Amino acid sequence: MTRRLWAPAVCALAIYGYGVYAHVLRGEAPDLFWVCNVAPLVLALGCLMGRGGLVAISICWLVFGTPMWLIDLFGGGNWMLASLSTHLGGLAVGIFAARQLVWPRGSWLSAVAAHIGLLGLTRVLTPPMFNVNLVFAVWPGWEGLFPNHLVYLLGLGALASLTYFLVERLALRLRAPSSTVAQGVEA
Domain annotation covers residue 187: no
Domain annotation covers residue 184: no
Domain annotation covers residue 84: yes
What's residue 78's pLDDT? 87
What's residue 182's pLDDT? 37
pLDDT (tens digit per residue) in 60-80:
999 999 999 999 999 888 899
Mean per-residue pLDDT over the chain, rounded:
93
Q: What percent of the chain has pLDDT over 70?
A: 93
**Residue 1: pLDDT above 80?**
no
Dist CA 112 CA 42 (whole Å): 14
pLDDT (tens digit per residue) in 54-63:
999 999 999 9
Dist CA 43 CA 155 (whole Å): 26
Q: pTM for the full model? A: 0.91
Domain annotation covers residue 185: no
Q: What is the DSSP letter of 146?
A: -
Mean pLDDT of 44-57: 98
pLDDT (tens digit per residue) in 72-102:
999 888 899 999 999 999 999 999 999 999 9
Domain annotation covers residue 124: yes
Domain annotation covers residue 116: yes
**Residue 12: pLDDT above 50?**
yes
Dist CA 38 CA 31 (whole Å): 10
Domain annotation covers residue 122: yes
Q: Which long-range contacts (CB under 8 A, 24 or more apart) does 117-122 make?
A: 118/33, 118/35, 118/38, 119/153, 121/33, 122/33
Number of separate domains in the chain: 1
Domain annotation covers residue 145: yes
**Residue 187: pLDDT above 70?**
no
pLDDT (tens digit per residue) in 114-157:
999 999 999 999 999 999 999 999 998 889 999 999 999 999 99
- Are 107 and 60 a contacting pair, CB within 8 Å? yes
Q: What percent of the chain has pLDDT over 90?
A: 87
> Which domain covers residue 17, as residue numbers?
6-177
- 2 or 152, which is more confident: 152
What's residue 184's pLDDT? 37
What's residue 186's pLDDT? 36
- Are 135 and 154 a contacting pair, CB within 8 Å? no
What's residue 22's pLDDT? 98
